[in-house]
Amino acid sequence: MSDDIRNRMVELLPRLRRFGYALTGNLDEADDLVQETCTRALASAAQWQAGTRLDSWMYRIAQNIWFDKLRATKVRGETIDVDTATDIAGSDGRDITESHLTLQVVANCISQLPAEQQLVITHVCIDGQSYKDAAEALGIPIGTVMSRLARARQALHLAMVAGHGAPPANSRLQPSHLRK
Amino acid sequence: MSKISDEMLMAYSDGELSFTDRLRVEAYVARDPSGALRLAAFTATGKELSGLFDRPMREPVPQRLIDAVMGSTAQSTVTFPAPAAAVASAQIIQFDHARRIPARTLPKWGLAAACVTLLASAIGTQWLFSSRTSGTGDDFGVTMLSDGVRVPSQALASVLDTTASGQSVANQISGMQVTIKPVFTFASEGQGHCRQYEIKLAQPTQLTGVACRTSGGPWHIEGQVASAFVKSTDGSIVPAGKSSSASIDALVDRMIAGDVMGIEEEAGLMERGWR
């Protein structure tokens, strides 16, 4: 495999970690997710088409891994305790702040969005790309980016207004499209 | 006047609308309280999300993730896109900073240029040429980067063209703060005039490279390394992990003819358009 794709993956690592952080709300879990994502991406690098966006492709891989994990968690009937699942305590206690709580709530909301909405919100709101760039990255029309993004943000806003606090543990890690 | 769509309100909150469309939205929101409410959902989520998850962008990437991508022998050194055959065999020569860099051009952390080299990076080449060649253009046998962070192709080149050594130029690119600083200028054997530069990406990550241009020609990147730095307990910025020899210094050592230029000499070159 060319070193080029590895180098580009390394360049993507900070953004992949940020994406993982937004999905999991937890840096340790984000790093596990990113590591798994890289391993899987390298194993299937032949499936990535040169000339298409590496970042979007890897985001999708990360999503799939995360959704699989959530599904497995659901099947085993496990619930994840919010306090131990998050790095709320931090190593030095600095993290116990309002913004950290916000982060938990927002990450939780994001992880409940449908996959396609997660991707547009990541490209636009978290990566800071323009609608046009996001459309190009995702290979969809700009109008689709805008309608998905609008729905995602309305859902996010509702969820955040409704409960500015941790939702019940049994629904916490449940993306909406997995719920029956 | 027709009702303004959610998408348009959102585009307004994201600064994606033209001037006339902004005026339309503002007139509508001023007139219709429900419009202001709908708009609030987008301004609030935009604000909540912006920067909220940016902690990984300010911290070095854990070594285990780099190892997962590069394999555990990740101590690769430097990209030599241009005269690959000639330079790739370069011996790492310890560079004596004191010998040729005037103290005034040395940034405080410049001595830490003997930094840990995390990966070979071709990002600068892509930045430099990304608008001249779209998609998978191939100036130096390097595939163009086609992911999110895109620096205007002229950004690095224009800084190299006109900015004195030691001065930083900040750019906001795709929501990311990127600072470019020429470090020093020198004449080379055969490659024209060269400048070592530094590009700071997300806080602890830095690219160091050398670009050269012959009279009237464009800038070419001769080599570039990426490094990560961390803040130590006493507040100083130190290289992450153990130090390795600075391959860029070795590259400069091979290329340089004479001494590093003084500021006046450099300013003269800029005035003459690097001729």
In SS3 terms, chain B reads as CCCCCHHHHHHHHCCCCCHHHHHHHHHHHHHCHHHHHHHHHHHHHHHHHCCCCCHHHHCCCCHHHHHHHHCCCCCCCCECCCCHHHHHCCCCCCCCHHHHCCHHHCCHHHHHHCCCEEEECCHHHHHHHCCCCCCCCCCCCCCCCCCCCCCCHHHHHHHHHHCCCCCCEEEEECCEEEEEEEEEEEEECCCCEEEEEEEECCCCEEEEEEEEECCCCCCEEEEEEEEEEEECCCCCEEECCCCCCCHHHHHHHHHECCCCCCHHHHHHHHHCCCC
- Which of A12, A17, A21, A34 has the alpha carbon at shortest distance from A110? A21
How many C-beta atoms lie closer than 10 Å to residue B1's C-beta?
Answer: 8
For chain A positions 10-69, those within 8 Å of chain B (CB to CB) are 10-15, 17-22, 27, 30-31, 34-35, 38-39, 42, 50-56
State chain A's mean pLDDT as an integer.
78
Quick check: ipTM above 0.90?
no
Q: Residue A55: in which H helix or E strand, if any?
A: helix A54-75
According to DSSP, the β-strands at B117-120 and B220-231 are: antiparallel
pLDDT tens digits for A69-109? 888 876 665 544 444 334 444 444 444 455 666 788 888 88
Q: How far apart are alpha carbons A55 and A174 in whole angstroms?
A: 25
Cα atoms found within 13 Å of the Cα of residue B15, Cβ hemisphere only:
7
Contact B193, B185 (CB under 8 A): yes
B216-228 tens-digit pLDDT: 777 777 766 665 5
- Measured between beta carbons, the chain B residues lying within 8 angstroms of A4 are 122, 142-143
pTM value surpassing 0.90: no
pLDDT at B153: 52
Backbone φ and ψ for B173, nearest 5 degrees, come out as -125, 120
Task: Report the percentage of chain B scoring pLDDT > 70.
Answer: 55
**Predicted pLDDT at B274:** 87
CB contact under 8 A, A38 and B14: no
To the nearest whole angstrom, how far is the Cα of B45 from the nearest Cα of chain A?
Answer: 6
Residue B272 — very low, low, confident or very high, per pLDDT cuts 50/70/90? confident
What's the alpha-carbon Rg for chain B, to the nearest Å?
23
Contact B10 A146 (CB under 8 A): yes
**Residue B87 pLDDT > 90:** no
Distances (CA, A) of B254 to B94, B99, B274: 11, 15, 21
Are the beta carbons of A137 and A129 closer than 8 angstroms? yes
Contact partners, residue B125, CB within 8 Å, separation at least 6? B79, B81, B139, B140, B142, B221, B224
Phi/psi class of residue B190: alpha, beta or left (left: φ > 0; alpha: ψ in -120 to 50)?
Answer: left
- Residues B192-241 have pLDDT tens digits of 889 888 877 654 556 677 788 877 777 777 766 665 555 555 666 555 54
Query: CA-to-CA distance for B76 and B179, rounded, in angstroms?
Result: 24
Per-residue pLDDT of B115-147, as tens digits, reads 223 233 333 333 333 333 333 222 222 222 333
> A7 to chain B: nearest residue by CA?
B121
CB B153 within 8 A of CB B132: yes
More confident residue, B15 or B153: B15
Q: Is-contact B105 B184, C-beta < 8 A?
A: yes
| Nearest alpha carbon to residue B60 among B227, B209, B270, B193 | B227
Token representation of residue A67: 């959704």
pLDDT digits (tens, 9 = 90+) for A48-59: 887 778 988 999
Other Cβ atoms within 10 Å of B217 Cβ, number: 11
Nearest residue on chain A to B54, alpha-carbon basis: A18
Asked if A11's CB is within 8 angstroms of B121's CB, the reply is yes
Asked if B222 contacts B209 with a C-beta cutoff of 8 angstroms, the reply is yes
pLDDT at B242 over 90: no
Residue A65 CA, distance from chain mean position: 10
Using a CB-CB distance cutoff of 8 angstroms, which residues of chain B are in contact with residue A13?
61, 65-66, 69
Q: What are B247's two structure tokens? A: 């391959």
Which chain A positions have a beta carbon within 8 Å of B49's beta carbon? 106, 121, 125-126
- In angstroms, the separation between the Cα of residue B61 and the nearest Cα of chain A is 6
User: Does the beta-carbon distance from A14 to B118 stay under 8 Å?
Assistant: no
Question: Any idea which residue has 């055969």 for tokens?
Answer: B190
* Cα–Cα distance list, B129 to A11, B28, B35, B125, B226 (Å): 18, 43, 44, 6, 19
Sign of the Cα torsion A87, A89, A91, A93 reads positive
Closest-CA residue to B209 (of B79, B95, B106, B85): B79
